[in-house]
Amino acid sequence: MSSRSDRNIETRKKKKRRTLARPKQTRVQGNTSGVRARLRKQSLLRAGRGEAAAAQ
């Protein structure tokens, strides 16, 4: 089991401090079938087609 050296710890801290603050993701990213189904359901509900169309 390797332990992280002090130098590596400092490097990780510096890298973390330098990263840009990005906004949180507002929707699921990805192209899997589960994600696509969820996005489709959201879009149908948003379009006002109700639960019946979303269940298909």
pLDDT tens over the chain, length 56 residues: 578 899 999 999 999 999 999 998 887 788 899 999 998 998 999 888 766 555 66
> Where are the extended beta strands (E) located within the chain?
none
Boundaries of every domain in the chain = 31-56
pTM of the model: 0.41
Q: Is 38:29 a contact under the CB 8 Å cutoff?
A: no
Would you state the pLDDT for residue 56? Answer: 62
Q: What local confidence, expressed as pLDDT, does residue 54 receive?
A: 56
Cα gap 6→11, rounded to integer Å = 9
φ and ψ of 41, to 5 deg: -60, -45
